[in-house]
Structure 1
Amino acid sequence: MECTGQNSSLGNHTALVEFILIGFSDVPHLQGFLLGVFLIIYAFILMGNSLIIMITKVDPSLQTPMYFFLRNFSLLEICYVSVTVPRLLTDLCRQYGNISLLACAIQMFFFLILVDTECFILTAMAYDRYVAICNPLLYPVIMNDRLCMQLAVVCWTTAIPIHTLFISMVFSSTFCGCNQLNHFFCDAPPVVQLICGDSFMVEMLLYMITALVASIPSFLIFGSYVKIVSTIVKLPSATGRAKAFSTCFSHFMVVALFFGSGIIVYFKSMTSHSTGVDKFLSLFYTVLIPMLNPIIYCLRNKDVKVALEKLLQKFICL
């Protein structure tokens, strides 16, 4: 059965008790292939980020604020993909995607919190690089263990009250009419579109949260990198400039990929009804970018590569 149009135009106001995630059921001949691909990607993300966490935890040379935040970021990536990908794999196996309102609310709640947390941690990492390059002599004093822990706590907890309010507003509303979500997980824009009656307040709250979470970290990160670049170009040594750029390049790539794709997809999906394209675009920032992050940080970071080589040598010698 296909659903088209808004709920109000369907004339069916029976309250819904579950949604149907269409996922990739519209390409049944690719179900097995997609299951294998996403399973491999998920395993790679888990192993890659777990390896980064282990290396940055046990290697004495990586006990710095920069790698403290990288360790938090890798843990976040594991949690982030685990909110959506296991459900996607299950739906690909069983060929249907029924999900209760409660399960949908829980998935959306954790997904939105982790998206915001990623924005905040990337901002904290940018601040760390700013202090390291622009104030190197004060770096050990400013980026002390206490401040790093405080920043981490703020990053992990700030989004919780915001999205508790938002999820409460969304799921205290009545859903009726079409119960199909043309998506592979319970993302906010397609769910909000299924609310019966006036959803103006919910939509405005979603716009405000998205705008604030996207704009404030983006502005802070951009400002940090303006200062960083202006400081680097003034360094007298070409070697020093190359090293400084190298330490920032990995983080900048991750920021550009995550913020760029996320902002495009989210604002596009909130300003137009889902056409199926949003679902495929969402794969980019929910699955593909988390897969690229361990590669970016391991291949572009000399310290991580050296620590990885030492760890592998220990295992080989055992």
Structure 2
Amino acid sequence: MARAPRNTARKPRLRAVPPQEDAPVTPSAPASDEREATLAYARSVLEAEAQAILGLMGRVGDSFLRALELVRDCPGQTVVTGIGKAGLIGQKLSATLASTGIRSVFLHPTEAAHGDLGRVGRGDVILALSNSGATEELVRLLPSFKRLGAPVIALTGDAESPLARGADVVLDIGRIEEACPMGLVPTASTAALHAIGDALAMAVLRARPFGSAEYALLHPAGKLGRSVMRVVDLMRSGSANPLVRDTAKLSEAVVVMTNTPGRPGATNVVDKQGRLVGIFTDGDLRRLVEKGFTDFERPLREVMGKRPRCVGPEVLVLEATRLMREARVDQLPVVDAEGRAVGLLDVQDLLAARSF
């Protein structure tokens, strides 16, 4: 049998082709109508929450006044409780009360049922937050609160709910339609709970003797603390207050400035009654040396600043800082009502307190 002729043609070689990386997909900008629809919906959420808050104004009445009295006159602490989103609002409410001088703690309902009820005692007041008023973890605590002798203020959207029926005072925010597309996510209702809680906290604050001095004690750090800090809180006093008599020599002033703790850049100059009559600073000394006056036996009263700007110890640090900036000075004498030099405010102390 004859063989078939051999195919001598070369087969093409197959080359491996490296996989192509997916090109980055640039999201297309939403269509103009979709953009406007999104913005319109966002505005509707804001409007729904604003309307929920405005709707509370007609609900603030006798029950609100009773709640205010309970919190204001509470001999113990205000215990705030709630779960979920209402619990988060409750934590903020407790923090607001504490920051304005009302002793307050937040009690998680689940943890309360497992021993944390020990945080509650006779004389305490309970603020219980629940929009539905039917939160099981919260409602089951009501008998325990009653046995402990702690009156309950309910912040709820249902005045007929189990929570409301078991409370001593009810702050009813009413039934509120949520702002979410499904009508389920707590939005407008939590905004209303937040607002009524703030209204209660601020009304209690207004009804108590609590001023900026007390506020400063509770807010020593940050911008809030600095805004109410007094000169007395920062000034150098006692052994750190540099004092020299007006009858002294220039050399004595230099010794006082050098040896006073903290090495202040100035010294208060006082008369025999301790009243401020002048100030002498490092800058004054440098200027004297530049002019060739190096007689350290010279009377201090001849070279001191005779009309220094000064402040009282109860002046706000912000005001003292403004005076120092305007006068372009680094030290400010502090005097009492009789004009006695009771301290010195130094720019280094302001910088350390982040007030300059």
Greater share of helix: 1
Greater share of strand: 2
TM-score with structure 1 setting the length: 0.24
Structure with greater Cα Rg: 2
> Quick one: higher RCO (CA 8 Å, sep 6+), 1 or 2?
1
TM-score with structure 2 setting the length: 0.22
